[in-house]
Amino acid sequence: MYRPPASPSLSFDTARIVSSSQQPSNEPTNWNGEMDGVARLRDRECFMRIYDHFMPRLCIYLRGLGAPAAVAEELAQECLLRLWLRASEFDPAQGALSTWLYRIGRNLHIDRVRRERSWMQVQEAVEDAAAGDVSERSSAEQFADHARLRQRINELPATQARLVRMSYFEAKSHSEIAQALGMPLGTVKSHLRRAFLQLQSKVGGAP
C-alpha cells in the first residue's frame, strides 16, 4: 500500500510542476486537433501522439503523488484509456489538455488509495471473524464461524467464490491464482475485491 495523497491543491500543483520539469518542453501550442480526431473519428494516430507525449509525464506526476512506479504506470494507462473513451468531454475552453489529464490521474490515484484501505479492512474483518482468538473461544464456536464463512462464500457468484476459496482456504497468492486459472492478474484482484466487499457486511453477523 502506498501513502495517501497530501493536501489536494498542493499535491496537484507540485507534482504537475515536477512532471513538466523532468520532460522535454516540446508540447504543441494545443492538442485540439488531436483530441478532435480522437473524439469524432476515433483516430488512433492522433491518440498515439497524445499517448507518447503524456504517458511519461503522467507517470512522473503520479509518482510525485506517492504512487510506486508500477502503480503509477498502471494509473497512467487507465488515465489515457479514459481519454480515449471520453475525448468528447474535453473542453479546451476550460483549460489545457495536460490539466485535464492530470486531474483525471489525481482522481484515479485517490480512488486507488481509498480502495486499498477498504480492501485491507475487509481482509482483516474476514480473518478475525473466521479465526478468532483461539485462547478465548471454544472449538465449537470457531467451527460455527468457519462454517458460516463457507456458507456465505457459497452465496457469492461462482467465479468470486472460487477465487476466495483459493485465496483464503488454499492460501494461494493472487499471482498463483492467476496462473492456475489462466486469468489476468488484474481480473483476479478486482474479483477478489468485489467478493470481500460483499462478505464484509455478512461475516460476523447472525447466520
pLDDT tens string 135-174: 444 555 545 555 667 777 888 888 888 888 887 667 677 7
Q: What pLDDT sits at residue 32? A: 92
More confident residue, 137 or 91: 91
Helices (H) and strands (E) in the chain, counts: 9, 0
Q: What pTM was estimated for this model as a whole?
A: 0.49
What is d(CA 185, CA 164) in angstroms, rounded to the nearest whole number?
Answer: 14
- Top-ranked range on mean pLDDT: pick from 21-30, 45-54, 123-132: 45-54
* Cα–Cα distance measured from residue 29 to residue 55, given in angstroms and rounded to the nearest whole number: 18
Confidence of residue 11 (pLDDT cuts 50, 70, 90): very low
At residue 42, does pLDDT exceed 80?
yes
pLDDT of residue 201: 53
What is the separation, in whole angstroms, between the first and last Cα of the chain?
33
Rounded distance, CA 189 to CA 207, Å?
Answer: 27
Q: Are 152 and 161 in contact (CB under 8 A)?
A: no
- The DSSP call for residue 168 is I
**Cβ–Cβ < 8 Å for 174, 189:** yes
Least confident window among 29-33, 79-83, 105-109: 29-33
Backbone dihedral region for residue 206 (phi beyond 0: left; psi -120 to 50: alpha; all else: beta): beta
Contact 149, 203 (CB under 8 A): yes
Q: Find the range with the poorest average confidence among 1-15, 56-70, 180-194.
A: 1-15
pLDDT of residue 59 exceeding 50, the answer is yes
